Amino acid sequence: MKKSIYLIVVLFLSLSCSQDKNDSRFIKIQTDKGEIVIRLYNETPKHRDNIIKLAEEKFYEGQIFHRIINNFVVQGGDPTTKNAKPDSLYGNGGPSYLIDAEILDTIIHKRGAVGMAREGDDVNPEKKSSGSQFYVVKGKIFTQQQLDDLEKKLESKNKSKLYKKIFDAKLAQQKDQLKIDTISLSLEVSVSMDSVLGTIPKFKFSEKQRKLYSTIGGIPHLDGNYTVFGEVIQGMDIIDEFSAVNTDENDRQKKDIKFNIVVVKQ
C-alpha cells in the first residue's frame, strides 16, 4: 500500500514539473550573429507579460545594444536607438510607464540571467523597472574570499544608508534648521544607530548564491536591487562574443549590433 502511494506521489510530481515547464513562455533575441533564446519566469508575471507585449508589437525591431561592459552586462531596449547616431549616448528612452518591482530572493543575477534596468534609488526608491530596457548578465566568477569581501562591503553600504535615513529624519524634526548643531545631531544619530544595528542581521550570501557565483559566475551585488525575470537557455556564446567587442567611453560598441525580439510560439 505504501509503495502505491509513493508511486502516485512521484507521478504527481512528475506531471507538475512537466506542466510547469510547458507553462513557461519564451522569447528570442534575433541578431546577425544568431538567436538568443530566453525562458521567462512565471514568478515575475508583470515583467514577463510586458516584454511579450512589446515583442508582439515589434517594439524592439531595429534597436541596438547601447551598453556593453565586458564581464558585466549586455544592455538594450532604448527605442531611440532605432536611428542611432555615431558617438551618441543612449539609455534614457523607453515607453511612458515603469513596471512595479518583482524582486525575489530566490532569483539571482547568475550568468545568463535577464533583468530589467531602472533609475537609481534617489529618484526611484521603490526600485521600479524601466518599461523596456533590459540586460543580460555576463558577469564573472568570484572566489570565496572575494564573496567574503563583498559581503563586508555591502553590509557597510547598507549601514551607511541607514545612518543617512536616520540623520535625515532627525534633521526634519528640527524646528530651526539655521541653528542646527550638525556635530551634536550626528552624535545623536550615532546613538540611534547603535540601538538599531543590533537588530539588523549581518549581510550574508546564501549557499545558492555562493555556489553559483563561484562556479558559473554572475553579478552578486545586483541581487535585491533589480528585477530578474528570465534566463538565457540558448545562445549564451553570442552574449560572450558581444561582451568582448570594442566599446567607446560610453560603453557603446563601436560597430552597432542591431537586434529584434520575438515571442516563441508554442
More confident residue, 47 or 196: 47
- Claim to verify: residue 78 and residue 132 sit in the same structural domain: yes
Give the separation between CA 261 and CA 266, rounded to whole angstroms: 16
Residue 197 confidence class, pLDDT cut points 50, 70, 90 = low
Give the separation between CA 181 and CA 214, rounded to whole angstroms: 48
- Claim to verify: residue 44 and residue 129 sit in the same structural domain: yes
Count of structural domains, the chain: 2
Look up the domain containing 184 and give its range. Answer: 145-197
- For 198-246, the pLDDT digits (tens) are 555 678 999 999 999 999 999 999 999 999 999 999 999 999 999 999 9
- Claim to verify: residue 185 and residue 227 sit in the same structural domain: no
